[in-house]
């Protein structure tokens, strides 16, 4: 069926029950549909074989554009351009909406899946990334973003096992005890935190102060040490520049529910105090250690 050219502002409905083909002769003639507020609501650029929604000049096979204001908060005012909706009103836990990535053989190689995790409300969902290890449509979960936050891997959905934090930063270590009125020539602390595991590097050098009989603590760790009974803690010297007579005879203890590291004699387990170390007697003694502990 051919459509006859019609002039004027016709507002009537167009109904076509049979098949309709536009531009069957492959002419370099664009196809454009206007909406009430957008002159380029749908554009087929015949010369470049591209489709634009909201744009007159699509640059890829399918481009969707929206001239809305930029997001203010990134979440609340996110101005979505594309939304995929599963119109099932059952809100059954486990129902999902997916984007599949397939080859020309129609095998699904990977998928991004939004899973409904709650029954009834329809809110609260996980975002799952899956890949196919073999040919065919067999998908295996590789990573999941939990609705409460955190990443799980390879089908593990336990919140306790989720990776919920990664950060890097600096902090300022101090002699919390063992040295009165401490002054410093060097106070350097860096850390990496992965989940609850914290790895710190410390370089601390005092250039003034008076030693006292208090147990030597290095404080100012970036996160509070866990109070768990099964907490793990470790530290080792990278350089002992006169802080203590022998680094091999030193052990370290992270004090629970604090940001302090206590020094002990490895030989008899006694506390190292300011008066039996060289921290004040040999000012500018260089203390460099790496600390690994579990945060609260």
Taking only the tens place, the pLDDT of each residue in 97-113 is: 899 988 777 778 899 99
Taking the alpha carbons at both ends of the chain, their separation in whole angstroms is 74
Q: Are 272 and 263 in contact (CB under 8 A)?
A: yes
Q: How confident is the model at residue 234 (pLDDT cuts 50, 70, 90)?
A: confident
**Of the candidates 147, 145, 146, 94, the residue with the CA atom closest to the CA atom of residue 120:** 94
Structure confidence by residue, pLDDT tens digits, 200-212: 999 999 888 888 8
Average pLDDT over residues 28-53: 92
pLDDT value, residue 195: 92
Report the greatest alpha carbon distance in the chain: 103
Sign of CA dihedral 148, 154, 155, 160: negative
pLDDT value, residue 133: 82
Q: What is the pTM of this model?
A: 0.73
Q: Quick one: CA torsion of 153, 156, 157, 163, rounded to 10 degrees?
A: -40
Does the pLDDT of residue 259 top 60, yes or no? Answer: yes
Number of residues written out for the chain: 296
Structure confidence by residue, pLDDT tens digits, 50-92: 999 999 999 999 999 987 766 666 677 777 888 888 777 667 7
């Amino acid at each position: 069926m051919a459509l006859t050219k019609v002039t004027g502002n016709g507002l009537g409905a167009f109904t076509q029950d049979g098949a309709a083909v536009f531009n069957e002769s492959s002419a370099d003639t664009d196809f454009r549909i206007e909406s009430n507020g957008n002159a380029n609501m749908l554009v087929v650029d015949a010369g470049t074989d591209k489709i634009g929604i909201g744009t007159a000049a699509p640059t890829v096979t399918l481009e969707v554009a929206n001239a809305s204001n930029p997001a203010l908060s990134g979440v609340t005012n996110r101005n979505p351009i594309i939304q995929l909706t599963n119109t099932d009103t059952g809100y059954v836990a486990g129902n999902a909406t997916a984007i599949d990535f397939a080859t020309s053989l129609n095998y699904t190689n990977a998928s991004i899946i939004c899973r409904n995790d709650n029954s009834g409300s329809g809110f609260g969902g996980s975002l799952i990334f899956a890949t196919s290890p073999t040919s065919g449509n067999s998908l295996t979960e590789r990573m999941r973003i939990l609705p409460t936050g955190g990443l799980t891997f390879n089908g593990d959905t336990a919140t306790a096992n989720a990776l919920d934090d990664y950060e890097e930063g600096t902090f300022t270590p101090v002699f919390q005890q063992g040295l009165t009125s401490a002054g410093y020539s060097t106070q350097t602390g860096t850390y990496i935190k992965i989940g609850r595991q914290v790895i710190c590097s410390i370089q601390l050098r005092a250039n003034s102060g008076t030693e006292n009989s208090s147990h030597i603590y290095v404080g100012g760790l970036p996160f509070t040490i866990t109070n768990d009974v099964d907490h793990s803690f470790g530290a080792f010297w990278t350089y002992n520049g006169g802080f203590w007579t022998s680094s091999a005879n030193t052990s370290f203890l992270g004090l629970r529910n604090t940001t302090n590291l206590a020094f002990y004699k490895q030989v008899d387990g006694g506390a190292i105090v300011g008066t039996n170390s060289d921290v004040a007697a040999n000012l500018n003694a260089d203390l460099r250690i790496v600390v690994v502990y579990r945060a609260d």
